[in-house]
Amino acid sequence: MASNSYMGIPREKIPWYPAVDENACTKCSTCLDFCANDVFEQGEGSVEVVRPYNCVVGCSSCQNVCPSGAIRFPDMRQFVETLKKLREEYRNK
């Protein structure tokens, strides 16, 4: 029920997921352990976002637990506008 659409919009059309700053990431694994949805995996230089569409739309809690401030999310206000447009687009589909 939950994983592949959000408010009637296919999940993979929604640009919400974390971005990891590879220069800031210390590969401490905190985010890996914290997120239940296998969004991250340990990569070469830093943790990598390997399953972005597993990220819960609107969740940004891993940002708060990263001790290095290496995780970023889209700006919420802009994102709400994007979501409004997507809803219009998918409303009648």
Partner 1 sequence: MKKAILICTCSFACPSMKDIDFAELSEKIRLEIPEASYMVLHPRICERNGEEMMADLLKEGVIYYTIACKPEKQEKLLRDGFQKAGVIMERDKNWVPISVQFKNTDQVFEEIERALKNGGE
Q: HSE of 54 in the Cβ direction (CA atoms, 13 Å)? A: 10
3-class secondary structure, 47 = strand
Residues 45-74 interacting with partner 1 (rule: CB under 8 A) = 54, 56-59, 61, 64-65
Which residues inside 16-45 make contact with partner 1, applying CB under 8 A?
34, 36-37
- Beta carbon of residue 54, minimum distance to partner 1 (angstroms, whole number): 5
Q: Which residue from 44, 19, 48 is spatially nearest to 32, judged by alpha carbons?
A: 48
80's tokens: 């709400």
**14 sits near ligand SF4 (criterion: CB under 6 A):** no
CB of 1 to partner 1, least distance (A): 6
**Gap between the Cα atoms of 60 and 80, Å rounded:** 14
Binding residues vs partner 1 (CB under 8 A)? 1-3, 6, 11, 34, 36-37, 54, 56-59, 61, 64-65
